[in-house]
Amino acid sequence: MESMSGAPVPKDFNAEEAINMEEVRTEWSIVQHMQTYWSILEKVKGSTLRLTKMDDDIYEHLTTDFPEFDPAATIDEDEMKSKTGKERWRKFMMAYDKTIEDYNFGTMVRNNPKVEYEEDTTIFGESSSHAILRY
């Protein structure tokens, strides 16, 4: 028998006594979420996908607060996560604290709409950044 990494499972491995690491469970959940979202994107064009009832309003707000945003361009993660970038995203996100459940929960964002979720193409961003996921 092989493990998920392809390495053989030790003969003396006992699943009942294995340590349950919360970080591994969290990472596994993240991967499952990304795979599910990607399978949806393979079937539905992102610009027609509705994540909330407010998607159009959120996108309009995004283009107002971030006029430099180009949905076809690669996102500059350093700029997004800089002190100024974080302040801008925080202000943007706080507009939804009463209207979107888990408005401040993190979101996995592809840094380029032309690529799949991979380790070097995925950014962990604020939840309201899901506005950029559509385009």
pLDDT tens digit sequence for 69-86: 998 999 998 998 899 998
**Is residue 109 within 8 Å of residue 129, measured between CB atoms?**
yes
Percent of the chain with pLDDT over 70: 84
Structural domain that includes position 106 = 45-134
Note whether residue 13 is domain-resident: no
What's the token pair of residue 105?
Answer: 């929960």
- Helix orientation angle between 83-94 and 55-65, rounded to the nearest 10 degrees: 140
**Is residue 124 within 8 Å of residue 106, measured between CB atoms?**
yes
Confidence of residue 51 (pLDDT cuts 50, 70, 90): confident
What's the token pair of residue 72?
Answer: 């076809």
Note whether residue 36 is domain-resident: no
Note whether residue 96 is domain-resident: yes
Q: What is the pLDDT of residues 102-135, one digit of tens each?
A: 777 777 788 898 888 888 888 876 554 445 544 4
Q: How many domains is the chain partitioned into structurally?
A: 1
Q: Is a pLDDT exceeding 90 seen at residue 91? A: yes
Note whether residue 31 is domain-resident: no
Q: What is the mean pLDDT of residues 18-37?
A: 77
pLDDT number for residue 134: 45
Note whether residue 83 is domain-resident: yes
Note whether residue 77 is domain-resident: yes
Note whether residue 24 is domain-resident: no
Q: What global pTM score does this model have?
A: 0.66
CATH number for the domain harbouring residue 73:
1.10.3560.10
Note whether residue 21 is domain-resident: no
Single-letter amino acid, residue 120? D
pLDDT number for residue 103: 76
